[in-house]
Amino acid sequence: MVMSEILDVVNDNDEVIGQAERDRVHREGLVCRLVYVCFYTTNREIILQKRSDTKKNDPGKLTTTVSGHVASGQSYAEAATRETVEESGIEVSAEDLKDLGIRAEREAPLEVFLRRRDEALRKATRRSSLQT
């Protein structure tokens, strides 16, 4: 059996109280850290993506440009840059992102970042349309 990603389990103060595999976190409703990255245009329009219809949570719904789990031992900023590359193919550094801070939502702490990337988004859109 392949092990899923290891996540930090946190308390209401976002303090690490243990670790668990991602599948267990979801199955047992444990609280873990999440990141969201919102891309916006020069016209200040937020760019959303539609979740796959095969996702367990919120299938087919609109969501932020990038979202994901913070791996065990990873900072929110490290997770945001990793997830941005994984989900969009766009390389960013922590300095490229504007940190909007940690929010408590859906009973889990998450950190939200903003990034304006018009040129990179045009390239990603072209690449995406070529792949379909």
pLDDT given at position 129: 38
Domain boundaries, the chain: 6-131
6-131 carries CATH number 3.90.79.10? yes
Range ranked top by mean pLDDT from 59-63, 111-115, 118-122? 59-63
What is the rounded CA–CA span in Å between residue 108 and residue 32? Answer: 6
pTM: 0.77
41 within 8 A of 118, measured Cβ to Cβ: yes
pLDDT grade, residue 106 (50/70/90)?
A: low
Is residue 20 over pLDDT 90? yes
Q: What percentage of residues in the chain have a pLDDT greater than 90?
A: 37
